Amino acid sequence: MRFLCAILLALVACPAWAAQDGGSKPLEHIVLQLKWRHQFQFAGYYAAVAEGFYRDAGLEVELVEAKQGEDPAPVVASGMATYGVGGSDLVLARAKGLPVVALAAIYQHSPYAIVTLSGRGIDSVHDLVGKRMMIEPQAAELLAYLRYEGIDIERIEQVPHSFDIESLARGEVDATTAYVTDEVFALEEAGLDYQVFTARSAGIDFYGDVLFTTEDELARHPERVSAFLKATIKGWHYALDHPQEIARLIRARYSTRHSLRHLLFEAAQTRRLMAADVVEIGYMHEGRWRHIADTYASLGMMPPDFELAGFLYQPDARVDHRGLYRTVAALAAALVLAGALGTWFWALSRRLRREIGEREAAQWQTEAVLARERNLLSILAHDFATPLNVISVAAQLLERFLSSGDGEKARREVDRIQAATAMLTEQIAACLGQNREHRDKPSAIGPIALRPMLAGLLKERRALVPERSFQLEVEESAEPDVVISADEVLISAVFANLLDNAIKYSVPRGAIRVRLAKAEGSVRVTVLDDGPGIAAEEAEKIFEKYQRAAKAPKAGGIGLGLFMVRSVVEAHGGSVRAVPGAQGEFVVTLPLAPEPGGPPA
């Protein structure tokens, strides 16, 4: 009995031996380079320090403010800091040869914006031409926004950035780049009316603050990278749950530059841009980074088809078994003393390993499904952002034009809101439709005149993106009109999807043409744009589920649109094909409606 008690005491003590071995290590000192001065923008890092999350991970983290106009990427790449907080322009730094690695997107949407005061004659970004504007060094996405809108940056009088919103308030400049989470608070406090132009209104929805490190740090200290990232995410959860506590902490320990009201304003804006209620904090999607890189490339800011391999952090999914190995070693020593119990422990261990393996397999399957759902939700939210932003901007302009009595401009903004609402409704209906069995089968067949339907769809999109050219070309064979028998809702969704793809894939201010022609017993509708075109090897593949064209410089999407298009068209007895070539071209063929009293077409 005494011998058995001694064995049990040894077994109980084993985990303690292992814990003592790992708990005696000194804290590792690392430096985190912030991208600006101390404020709520970095609340998660303050929380991780104050609550001991970094310490629990074996880290002593030093938070370093950025100097005015300083870019964190070269600072980290040079070894002056171990980690940094950058933006989506990290991909530009990577393209220039800096070995930076993106770890986590803290802000799902960028806080960068162009801010102007109301009543200064600037109702759109095109009114910035000839005006004085302060542009900060890291605002690459706003430069991309201006180029996307066809604005030559050289036609804007660029003024050195003072990093003081008072320069705008005093009239020293007409516009400035700023963070909507920060600088605009001073304008609100002063009671000044202002307006904000964001790249999101043009469909350029980039990540905001991005946590990053270097290839060298990742190669030499992968476990430290993982521990630092986990502690940081934990800190951000705490900061979002306790904004007042962290705001007071900032003023007490880091900086009194901002008032408590200012910090809480920043906290509210930060929560909105992080979208933590929708996606996990730090979540990144490779497809969205591809979109960011392709957008920069399409505007000549980096090489096309830039390889992202090595730029995005891929955490090792394997479990760290070092602690388990130490415990097993200690148990093995104890089992030498307990030879009589060896067989029993072996059988128990074997059974436990089998059960753990089964549970881990089930857990990995569940996590894979959840990851897929998160990816889908993130991309859908991104696709919905464009029409919602158009509605938001148009509503602000509408209010201004109604106040000034400018009925013509107000009517134009109403048209934009209606068009954006129609587009959003179509997108939601399409998404819901993918979850309904047989949703792509016709249910309400009736005669449809194609010409007015197509003209209406073009009118909606012309109001939504007025800078594009939309043309409906009707060949003589299709005069006065052609009529088909179809489900109007489904067929309308087909052509709406093809037109929206043409808008996404074509060049800024490009032309989109719809050609209507009549053949024997059928009608042919061709949608053309001046985008990059479809490669021959992709002409069939893009109609499959979750497939998208490789050349998609400014397009989001989950690869269901063209799958739906073909399903609906074929259900109506027609066909659809993509024509390979240097421009986008899709041809839809549908049977004509039968003549009254005649045989079916």
Check whether 557 has a pLDDT greater than 50. Answer: yes
| pLDDT tens by residue, 198-212 | 887 777 788 989 999
Check whether 292 has a pLDDT greater than 70. Answer: yes
The predicted model gives 155-172 an average pLDDT of 86
The predicted model gives 127-137 an average pLDDT of 87
Domains by residue range for the chain, with CATH: 22-110+207-298 (3.40.190.10), 112-186 (3.40.190.10), 445-591 (3.30.565.10)
Per-range mean pLDDT, top range of 79-88, 308-317, 375-384, 516-525: 79-88
C-alpha 590/C-alpha 567 separation (Å) is: 13
| pLDDT tens by residue, 379-410 | 455 456 556 766 766 676 777 777 777 777 77
C-alpha 358/C-alpha 33 separation (Å) is: 43
| pLDDT mean across residues, the chain | 78
CB neighbours of 33 closer than 8 A, spacing ≥ 6? 64, 66, 72, 75, 76, 80, 81, 83, 84, 85
Check whether 27 has a pLDDT greater than 90. Answer: yes
**Amino acid 555: pLDDT:** 43
The predicted model gives 125-153 an average pLDDT of 84
Q: How confident is the model at residue 295 (pLDDT cuts 50, 70, 90)?
A: confident
**Amino acid 375: pLDDT:** 47
Q: How confident is the model at residue 1 (pLDDT cuts 50, 70, 90)?
A: very low
Could you tell me which residue, 102 or 570, shows the higher pLDDT? 102
Check whether 599 has a pLDDT greater than 60. Answer: no
**Amino acid 367: pLDDT:** 55
Check whether 226 has a pLDDT greater than 90. Answer: yes
CA atoms within 13 A on the CB side of 566: 15
**Amino acid 408: pLDDT:** 76
Could you tell me which residue, 13 or 104, shows the higher pLDDT? 104
Q: How confident is the model at residue 597 (pLDDT cuts 50, 70, 90)?
A: low
Q: Nearest to residue 46, comparing CAs of 207, 263, 265?
A: 263
Could you tell me which residue, 337 or 205, shows the higher pLDDT? 205
Q: How confident is the model at residue 439 (pLDDT cuts 50, 70, 90)?
A: very low
Check whether 92 has a pLDDT greater than 70. Answer: yes
Structural element, H or E, at residue 217 = helix 215-220
Could you tell me which residue, 504 or 528, shows the higher pLDDT? 528
Check whether 325 has a pLDDT greater than 50. Answer: no
C-alpha 186/C-alpha 117 separation (Å) is: 12
